[in-house]
């Protein structure tokens, strides 16, 4: 593991912690232009439960129906009612993006795919550093480039992460949200960390367009995330 990855992993709790972590649970509030453009309601204190070992995540509520959950299971998504019964399902959800009606509107299954894989990537990042199928390369001190395999649902195959060189904490995450558009280059900036029970975690995040030079533009706010609660279960 390269020095930047080692420092980042240590800053967020360490190898032993993430090697034994089973589940990440969080409560988030999210708004932004990306929701508006796809005619989606904002998330208000939405609950998320994510497996650390594999891309499996459950988010509730996923839309306007209070007890309906959206579930990501690898490449597939489904909707569950309050009793856990499947009320909607879409296999290999990625193949439906980005064209057709999805240019203008996402349904609950579309949002279930996007939101769950995005949060799974964001919130299990320390564990992602340990995954052998992701090619992590230190391009300069404090900067990592990651090449993701097709088996992991994520924004784009190539992504970059900038960490504070002193603390090891994440500063900016660069990617292209390909399910929205091949031109949707984004800068995902960490505005604030909050001290959790065992380590600090990013508690405020802002996604804006990224300039050709790699800088985060001041706006518009594509997605603004507030993490109200975050904890790990073993």
pLDDT digits (tens, 9 = 90+) for 8-64: 999 999 999 999 999 999 999 999 999 999 999 999 999 999 999 999 999 999 999
User: How many domains is the chain partitioned into structurally?
Assistant: 1
In a domain, residue 15? The reply is: yes
Q: Within a 10 A sphere around the Cβ of 165, how many other Cβ atoms?
A: 14
Domain, as residue range, for 97: 3-227
In a domain, residue 232? The reply is: no
The Cα 171–Cα 158 span in angstroms is 18
| CB-CB contact of 68 with 79 (8 Å) | yes
In a domain, residue 176? The reply is: yes
In a domain, residue 69? The reply is: yes
* Nearest alpha-carbon partner for 39 in 85, 135, 94, 106: 106
Distance of CA 155 to CAs 130, 182, 184, 220, 234, Å?
19, 10, 10, 19, 27
In a domain, residue 195? The reply is: yes
Which helix (H) or strand (E) segment holds residue 118: the answer is helix 108-123
DSSP state of 215: P
In a domain, residue 10? The reply is: yes
In a domain, residue 105? The reply is: yes
pLDDT tens digits along 175-224: 999 999 999 999 999 999 999 999 999 999 999 999 999 999 999 999 99
CATH, residue 79? 2.50.20.10
Tokens of 229: 């609660």
Instruction: Give the up-direction half-sphere exposure of residue 176: CA atoms within 13 A in the CB hemisphere.
Output: 14
């Amino acid at each position: 593991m390269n020095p930047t990855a080692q420092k980042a992993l240590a800053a967020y709790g360490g190898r032993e912690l993430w090697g034994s972590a089973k589940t990440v649970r969080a409560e988030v509030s999210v708004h932004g232009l990306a929701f508006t453009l796809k005619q989606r309601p904002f998330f208000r204190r939405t609950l998320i439960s994510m497996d650390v070992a594999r891309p499996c995540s459950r988010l509730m509520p996923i839309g306007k129906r209070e007890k309906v959950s959206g579930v990501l299971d690898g490449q597939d998504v489904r909707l569950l009612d309050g009793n856990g019964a499947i009320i909607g399902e879409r296999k290999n959800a990625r193949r439906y993006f980005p064209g057709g009606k999805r240019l203008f509107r996402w349904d609950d299954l579309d949002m279930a795919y996007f939101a769950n894989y995005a949060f799974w990537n964001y919130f299990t990042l320390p564990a992602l550093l340990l995954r052998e199928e992701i090619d992590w390369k230190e391009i300069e001190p404090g900067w990592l480039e990651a090449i993701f395999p097709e088996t992991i649902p994520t924004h784009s195959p190539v992504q970059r992460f900038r960490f504070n060189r002193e603390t090891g904490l994440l500063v900016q995450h660069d990617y292209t949200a390909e399910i929205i558009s091949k031109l949707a280059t984004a800068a995902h900036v960490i505005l604030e960390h909050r001290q959790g029970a065992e380590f600090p975690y990013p508690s405020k995040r802002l996604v804006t367009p990224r300039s050709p030079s790699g800088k985060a533009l001041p706006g518009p706010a594509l997605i603004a995330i507030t993490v109200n609660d975050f904890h790990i279960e073993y």
